[in-house]
Structure 1
Amino acid sequence: MHPLPLRPPAMLAQAAASLDILSHGRFELALGTGGYRDAIASMGAPRLTPGQAVDALEEGIAIIRAAWDTDAPGGIRHLGEHYRVEGAPRGPRPAHDMGIWLGAYQPRMLRMTGRLADGWLPSLPRYRSFAELGAGNAVIDEAAAEAGRSPAGIRRLLNLDREREPGQLAELALEHGVSGFILMARDVRAIERFAAETAPAVRELVAAGRSPAAAGSPATLERDSASLERDPASMERGPASSERDPAFEAQAASERAPASAGRSQMPAEPGKTPTSARAGGAPLAAVPTPDDGVRLSSVRIWDESTRPAGPSPDPNRRYTPREQAAGRHLIDVHDHLRAELARLRDLAGQVAAGTLDAGAARDHISTMTMRQNNWTLGAYCESYCRLVTMHHSAEDAMVFPHLRRVEPGLAPVLDRLREEHQAIHKVLERVDRALVAFVTDPSGLDELRAAVDLLTDTLLSHLSYEEHELVEPLARHGL
């Protein structure tokens, strides 16, 4: 966030465009009025009142945009109260359509953001509640509409002063329109944890929130479908609550992925059938993935024959599209885990066979969903273990308690699933131990492969059992 009074706008425009060119289109310009007036004045910049600083910022934005508009004839000409530019040359043009972000908090600055800026970048410590953040969004949206702009053309990011729970960040994305999060941290471990654990957890929660089961009206579904067609790596996403996609940034490390917003449906009361189910529907189309019975390891960590079954569903029950989506989402999440597990196994096999060298392995892993700065087999295994643990923790903390309340007959199944989560965690610890051995001694690859085989047996069996028991109840009761 650059205080504009410290540099003439035309000079700042040239510097920002040069950085964008050098970084191949990765630079964005965030501006502020310069709230620390004494410090700014001590460096020789003019001392402005808050009102004057806002006026000067508006002039500065006009000059910066004129400097970047190299197609316009002649030089830059601006004769304002705070800045005078007479014929300064335009350019250079930024490498991409670079945005101007404002760190606004007061009503006048918020309205300027809606009228002139490309994005809003406040900091959570400055707001005492999430509701205040939502109120700021409303001011920006109103000002944008009055200026003939689409509010969806203004992205909303949020600086985080510390690590936050995934549920809090998901609420900010779903309920208050935040499209990205930036963790302000000096601790490298916090940054890595934010990228490897918090970001995937928030994506999963937000994806569930935007699913048809939680989206609400047909108009909302239409907006959500449109946002899904966008490039998932794009940073040009707007603020409409149904279209914003959470991005995650932590200092120099960043990770972006598509997601959006919606509302969670209210669960049905125990023993009651939702009204929507009685209005019509179709048979359950979300089909659980069957267990093929193939086992790669001779080790067995549980007796599958002792698994309890939940209450038998009503064979005549019909489900609306909204109801079908909750079970479908569970299967989609599990399919992602299955696909990543298959990639992990394939990579380990190629390295063991000597058909994949280190450089090729790095290129292969760099295309995977779960990525780390250290492009090694070991880093990927570790990242995958975190993903599984995060998914199970989310189920234990949110999904299972809800189902236990609305359908007490599922309690034995939920107890068993929780026990299996704990058992799988121990298998993941074995993968970690084998990983350490492999990193320090390449001969430890056999032990790593044996551990991955056991993980494959237990995880695939568990996922199939969970889907078989929970897909239908999730359709009836929602998330």
Structure 2
Amino acid sequence: MSDYGHPLEFGSFITPSAADPARVVALTVLAEQAGFDLVTFQDHPYQPGFLDTWTLLSYAAARTSSVRLAANVTNLPLRPPAVLARSVAALDLLSGGRIELGLGAGAFAEAVEAMGGPRLTPGQAVQALEEGIDVIRQIWDTDARGPVRVDGRFHRVSGAKRGPAPAHDVGIWLGAYKPRMLALTGRRADGWLPSLAYLKDGDLAAGNRIIDEAALEAGRKPADIRRLLNIGGRFTDAGHGPLVGPAEQWAEELTDLALTDGVGTFILASDDPDDLRRFADEVIPAVREAVTAERSGTRTLAPPSALPSASVAPARDTASPGARPGAPARKAGRSPFAVTPTPDDGVRLSGTVVWDEQTRPTGPAPDPDRTYTEHDLATGRHLIQVHDGLRGELAQIHDLIGQVEAGTIDVGTARSHINTMTMRQNNWTLGTYCESYCRIVTTHHTIEDRSLFPHLRRADPRLAPWWTASNRSTTSSTRSSRVSTRPWSRWSPPPTACPACGTR
């Protein structure tokens, strides 16, 4: 086990897509607002579908104020180290000390060569990277006397002036996987930055050993090198493998990586704003709390049966949808009805009565003799998720409006945040087809209200309004009074017409 005691940090790994630059920047702003410590972008200068990473970093630094920024990782063969050193220092000074330097030896030799860079063997690439680090550190070291001199095989600097110095001690993190790169990390770097998707079981522990040994041989402490990790996964209701499951499973697995493999910085690779928010809201606080408790000796570990397995994905049909990993298994392939609408939170933004809640069909109680497959339940769960997502984004819009009114954020920041939302993306996608879309939705709901629901009500007496059977003698005035005090719909107030096309 290796816990280097590093303070935990969390970052995002955003694709620098040239197809939608505004979205890339909006995701960066969102990450800062959500509380991430770091935002990173991959650097592949030969990729025409990507924005230039250092230009993007400069723009992103101007649009943010607190989050740190880095390339993940910089392609050194196409970034001359002396020029790169001054670029990093300049941006660090301009941003108030918020730039870090991820470095890579250049994995795609053909693409590098096609862009005019040198074609190097793996061994040569490692040597060139070490020489580049020497150049960069000398440029930054303004306390040393004399000009910069590096007489390397691949990088030669003869008499360049030093400076400027960065605003803070910029960390150099190496994207390393093979023994020579790992040893270089231990000797010369400030951090190790691999991607979990490229690692096999045991690679983190083996990499740590090589780095630690190289650090000790160089007279350094193993804890001098921060361990960072690019991660990816998927949030689901139940666990289906490593980092595929509910937020609780994510938190448990990342906590184990921190305490067992010494990872101090987790960087989430995702361009999904909902994933970024969920990671920030549910995973980060849980991991911080668990690691702090473990280090202080106050953590209470859950029994093994309650923890998800990182090596064996649970069968999809052995537990109810939404059940946490480790819950008692039910009959394989079948489960009781377990689709439950999200409870009403009671929040009302208007006193307007939209419809009579007492006439809403509530549905019969689940049939105890009926079981449902995962396929049977999927549609109901999906419908709930869609509406929950829309409600969540509406709540975020209300919150943003409140922040603008309070003066805590400006209109541009609020707009950038809204631009990452699903409903905004859908609006852009629909474009000129908004009117047709709204009319289809109106037709859909009208068919339900006038045909489908009445038919179902006639076919099954249990779908009648809940008060009908026991209150048929209630007077109209009494019913009216009862309706007026009934809690209003969660969708309050609803739009009376589409603001874009006027369709009701």
- Under a length normalisation based on structure 2, what TM-score does the superposition of the two structures give? 0.44
Higher Cα Rg: structure 1 or 2? 2
Instruction: Output the TM-score relative to the length of structure 1.
Output: 0.46
